[in-house]
Structure 1
Amino acid sequence: YNKLTDSIPSWISSFRSMAALRLSNNGFSGGIPSLAGLWQLYALDLSNNELFGSLPQLPTSLRSLSLAHNVLSGQIHLLWRLRRLRTLDLSDNRFAGSIRGVISLPDVNAVNLSSNWFTELEVPRFAGRATALEVLELQANRLQGSLPVNLVTVQNLTVINLSHNQFSGPIPRVFGLRLGSPWKR
């Protein structure tokens, strides 16, 4: 663990050939500078800091993104542009609004959006045909309404945590049909 403080300098984006940026477990505060110019960046880990504000534009080359345990807020709807993303961890922040798009990214296999302020979960009708998603952690949000029936179309899903939310109504019958055969085939 380091004890680096202040804000992440904006000049960091001048390292155009940077492949991985890991500044986790520090005392950085302020917003995340624009990193869109880091077109070779495949891994970004800024977790366990004191960063706040909304998500900046991120490089589409990212495969791993961890911004967990900060004070980031706003919406995440622009993350659908990260078509190469495999792992996403935005847990323990203050993101709000709707969760959509990230669930059906083609290469994503693990999504952790737990402990945020999300209120809606949208699962596209044919999400399962287009994604490698295996782990979906959405616990401790403010998700409400019915459980999305389209979750059953996510064929590779082996772990799902929807606890500590505000879902209501019955568990869709089609979920029970998946119990007889493994969710993952």
Structure 2
Amino acid sequence: MVNIDFSQNYLADFIPSEIRMLKELFGLNLSHNNLTGTIPAEMGEVESLESLDLSFNQLSGPIPRSISRLNSLGVLKLSRNNLSEEIPREGHLSTFNEASSFDNVNPFHNLTFLKFLDLSENEFTSIDGGVSSFIFGNNCILKALDLSYNPDFGGDVFRSDKNESMSCDHYDMQVLNLHDTSMKIKIPDWLGKLKNLQSLSLSTSLIYGSISTSLGNLSNLEDLDLSNNALIGAIPTSFGRLLNLRTLYLGRNRLEEFGEECFIQLENLEVLDISNNFHKGVLEEPHFANLSRFNVLLIADNEHLSLDMTSNWVPAFQLNHFDASSCIGCFGSEFLNGFEHKRY
């Protein structure tokens, strides 16, 4: 087996169709170059490929259907290109199966060994079967899916209405990143099935409605980012079960309520951002009683939120970043005696 790594050079021009001749190639890394044109359909003839990295180039057009022949492919990185569902310009059509859109040519459904898929920072607008087709399909072994920074990628990408018949004995998904998309949907309850999930980002994706309580079932979750959406209602009390959570970003939504039990058991929590919401009520010592690793608290622009700590309270943590700009006048100097912080 052969592994080729030409990354971080100044390679330009097209990927040659002669790539099909490398029958024993198992790893190909052409990332961080200046490659242009489309991904040749002949890439699908290198059936020994286990890892393919074409990220950080200037590739355009659709992903060829022939990629589905790469049955041994476990890692596919295509981020930082200009890939889309568009048909390539006349002159290059011969290297692709003709189809009207990526919806009709999803090249990933047959990649039964695919574990890492990175399509971030491209120009995709949809995927046949939605995100759930990756998670529930391909033997449910996908560990990481990154579709972030595809700002026109929208619609019901979760295809929640089609998931009743989808199930797995286990789910290997550890990272799901849909930051900066345009989904305009509610958080589906089935996300709570992904018990191995460690990082979930749905930020800046026009998500609306209440936060699904099923997210509290993600017992291995370490990083959760739901910021900059249109979420309403309360922070679910089920978040109190996320004992491995390190960062929680809920800023820039329309959330109004929270309970003591949301945070009190989160001993590993380091960052809490609930800024720019409509929170009402009082944050008190019990909310932070067990947060020994806590170092960032962002509560700015919640004009009806206040803090109430006694002057002799000594927290188990020390903040490095504390922004409570909207709470000026909501607490006195005695609060600051116990709550040491730097303000940026």
Partner of 1:33: 64
Partner of 1:90: 147
Shift in Å, 1:183: 8.2
Q: Within 5 Å, which residues of 2 pair with 1:22-171?
A: 22-34=53-65, 35-53=67-85, 54=102, 56-58=106-108, 59-74=111-126, 75-79=130-134, 80-82=136-138, 83-93=140-150, 94-96=152-154, 97-99=156-158, 106-120=171-185, 121-124=187-190, 127=193, 131-171=195-235
Listed as ranges, the gaps of 5+ residues in structure 1 are none
CA distance in 2 between counterparts of 1:77 and 1:144 reads: 19
Amino acid at match of 2:218: V
> Is the CA contact (8 Å cut-off) linking 1:158 and 1:183 kept in structure 2?
no
Amino acid at match of 1:95: F
Higher radius of gyration, 1 or 2: 2
> Is the CA contact (8 Å cut-off) linking 2:215 and 2:238 kept in structure 1?
no
Q: Structure 1 residues 21, 151: CA separation in 2 closer, same or farther (over 3 Å shift)?
A: same
Partner SS state of residue 141, structure 2: coil
Q: Structure 1 residues 112, 125: CA separation in 2 closer, same or farther (over 3 Å shift)?
A: closer
Listed as ranges, the gaps of 5+ residues in structure 2 are 1-31, 86-101, 240-258, 269-344
- Is 52-61 or 144-153 further displaced after alignment? 52-61
Amino acid at match of 1:36: S
Task: Give the TM-score, by structure 1 length.
Answer: 0.88
Identity %: 29
Shift in Å, 1:164: 0.7
Shift in Å, 1:30: 0.3
Q: Structure 1 residues 123, 12: CA separation in 2 closer, same or farther (over 3 Å shift)?
A: same
Structure with greater contact order relative to length (CA < 8 Å, sep ≥ 6) = 1
Shift in Å, 1:178: 4.9
Shift in Å, 1:135: 0.5
Amino acid at match of 2:209: G
Q: What is the RMSD computed on CA atoms of the aligned residues?
A: 2.2
Count residues with an aligned counterpart.
Answer: 180
Partner of 2:14: none
CA distance in 2 between counterparts of 1:124 and 1:88 reads: 16
Shift in Å, 1:86: 1.1
Partner SS state of residue 78, structure 1: helix
- Is 80-89 or 15-24 further displaced after alignment? 80-89
**Equivalent in 10, 28, 37 of residue 41 of structure 2:** 10
> Is the CA contact (8 Å cut-off) linking 2:203 and 2:227 kept in structure 1?
yes
**Equivalent in 159, 179, 182 of residue 263 of structure 2:** 179
Shift in Å, 1:106: 1.0
Shift in Å, 1:73: 1.3
Which protein has the bigger strand share?
1
CA distance in 1 between counterparts of 2:205 and 2:58 reads: 25
Shift in Å, 1:84: 1.4
Task: Give the TM-score, by structure 2 length.
Answer: 0.49
Partner SS state of residue 151, structure 1: helix
Question: 1:1-43 deviations in whole A, cap 9, x for unaligned?
Answer: 2111111111110111101110011110000112211000000
Q: Structure 1 residues 98, 30: CA separation in 2 closer, same or farther (over 3 Å shift)?
A: closer
